């Protein structure tokens, strides 16, 4: 997000995998990497969030996938990791609206259709418990919504006590919709699997007291239970 990074940096040019994917894959092969997980950018593939597919985006992902196949590297694809089409966020608020389920499912349909003959391992959403908290709670991730005193940045809009739960709920609905689509339309032929990547780490109660046991359980529920 422009102006949100502490060092004022942008993501305009980062590791430049768009142009260097062959070098990247060669490095993977040279180090005997057996599998590679990457995300497909929804707005790169479908710039308007729905409708026409960007041929250059389609070409890039086909080239990357083919290069991985050529080197015998197992492919794992994430369908969402922070790249949300700005046009849909402007139209209905992104993950805050249940309308996102239909659009995300249509995007996934394109991915399954175009890449599923070479991709067998799919993740619908990466860290659906972290993204809502940092996108709609702390405001650290796009679209940078939050409210005092929870925001790590000065947000101009948002409700940190409500919106993270709405976004997480809609992500779960979107995951269910995409999984159903794959099972009904693609799995019999493509023989792949679809899952979701939930961020987690384990905790232990400080003591065996009733309060500490309850606090530990409550923390785990908030981390990955909702």
Name the residues annotated as catalytic: 127
What are the beta bridge partners of residue 126? 197
Cβ-based neighbour number of residue 51 at 10 Å: 9
* DSSP letters for 68-137: HHHTT-EEEEES-SS---HHHHHHH-GGGSTTHHHHHHHHHHHHHHHHTTT--EEEEEE-TTHHHHHHHT
Candidates 224, 11, 8, 37; CA nearest to 133 is: 224
Cβ burial, residue 104 (10 Å; 0-12/13-18/19+):
buried
Angle at Cα 196 formed by Cα 83 and Cα 120, nearest 5°?
90
Residues 42, 203: Cα–Cα separation, whole Å: 34
Show Cβ contacts of residue 195 under 8 Å, excluding neighbours closer than 6 positions. 122, 123, 124
């Amino acid at each position: 997000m422009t102006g949100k990074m502490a060092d004022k940096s942008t993501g305009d040019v980062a590791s430049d995998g768009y142009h260097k994917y062959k070098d990247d894959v060669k490095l993977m092969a040279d180090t005997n990497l057996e599998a590679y997980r990457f995300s497909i950018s929804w707005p790169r593939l479908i710039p308007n969030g729905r409708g026409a597919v960007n041929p250059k985006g389609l070409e890039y992902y086909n080239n990357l996938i083919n290069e991985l196949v050529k080197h015998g590297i197992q492919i794992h694809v994430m369908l969402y990791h922070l790249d949300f089409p700005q046009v849909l966020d402007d139209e209905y608020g992104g993950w805050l609206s249940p309308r996102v389920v239909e659009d995300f499912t249509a995007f996934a349909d394109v991915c399954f259709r175009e890449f599923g003959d070479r991709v067998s391992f799919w993740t619908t959403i990466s860290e659906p418990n972290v993204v809502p908290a940092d996108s709609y709670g702390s405001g650290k991730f796009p679209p940078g919504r939050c409210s005092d005193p929870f925001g790590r940045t000065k947000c101009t809009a948002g409700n940190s006590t409500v919106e993270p739960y709405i976004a997480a709920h809609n992500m779960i609905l979107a995951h269910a919709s995409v999984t159903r689509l794959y099972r009904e339309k693609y799995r019999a032929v493509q023989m792949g699997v679809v899952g979701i990547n939930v961020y987690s780490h384990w905790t232990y109660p400080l003591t065996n007291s009733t309060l500490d046991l309850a606090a530990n359980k409550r923390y785990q529920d908030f981390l990955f239970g909702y």
